[in-house]
Structure 1
């Protein structure tokens, strides 16, 4: 459990320009209620995105705080890889800067590391860095599916799960 940092400008675009979470909106009678409504909609959109990736957890809860650009994720995942995919899916959304991990795991295992992609990175180079062999790049790809559709489709600012080798 803890905080995972992400790059706010990178990631899936779940919010349109007019509905950016916690952005200045049409003035409402109660600005606090408007902010709470925007945060609720953003949390719901992130939860829907997580589920659309085929990821789920018992009692999955996703809340968004537009002021701090932080997503808090709660619930119980069946295993460590599922938990890590849920957290990375939540963080790799545009306008998310941090993910507060409040999840638990039914079958705990060693935690993975995280790698923020920079320009020039590819899965081969990342596998060499963490495992000493680029040939192990498929381990990273598999740990990041379904968010990654192709090993060649990573982008700067994206955060990847780097699982421990078994």
Structure 2
């Protein structure tokens, strides 16, 4: 099982901000931690469904800010996309997953302020015009090649 680190405070907000907006409850009225974890897992599953990455065999386990993803039927590309889709959610700091075997480890890139897909393509693939390959490798999480943000982690396809 491998672990990937993400920027916990960057990414799409799917858990909601209700906790931050409400006053601190008294200990007797504190929310049930198991119910809160279940709510968050359901929000993560809903996000995967919206990205068409969920399947009957995708199982999620949330422990604090770490999510474990398991899927017996997913190929390597889908597992990498699952890792990124979950890791690029605000509040998630680590993703644990088992990748199908392959000779080379996956290449992920954390976007820095001011970077573009072209610059990232030039750095990793040697050709700025290969930005579309990176865009395609991150579909459906990306819907516009100009909409990336600092802290976002992208999948870099193998240079052929």
TM-score, scaled relative to structure 2: 0.87
CA RMSD of aligned residues (A): 2.3
Pairing 1:75-154 to 2, within 5 Å after superposition: 75-101=71-97, 103-105=98-100, 109=102, 110-154=104-148
Alignment partner, residue 63 of structure 1:
61
Query: Structure 1 runs of 4+ off > 3 angstroms?
Result: 24-31, 108-111
Q: Residue 58 of structure 1 contacts residue 76 of structure 1 at CA under 8 Å; is this kept in 2?
A: no
Q: Residue 144 of structure 1 contacts residue 161 of structure 1 at CA under 8 Å; is this kept in 2?
A: yes
Alignment partner, residue 18 of structure 2:
18
Secondary structure, counterpart of 1:78 in structure 2 = coil
- Offset at residue 134 of structure 1 (A): 0.9
Give 5+ residue unaligned stretches, structure 1.
none
Q: Residue 88 of structure 1 contacts residue 161 of structure 1 at CA under 8 Å; is this kept in 2?
A: yes
2:70 pairs with 1:74: yes
Range moving further from structure 2, 120-129 or 76-85: 76-85
Cα distance, 1:90–1:25 mapped onto 2, change above 3 Å: farther
- Offset at residue 48 of structure 1 (A): 1.5
Alignment partner, residue 51 of structure 1:
49
Secondary structure, counterpart of 2:57 in structure 1 = strand
Write 1 or 2 for the structure with the bigger share of strand: 1
Secondary structure, counterpart of 1:96 in structure 2 = coil
Alignment partner, residue 6 of structure 1:
6
Aligned residues: 158
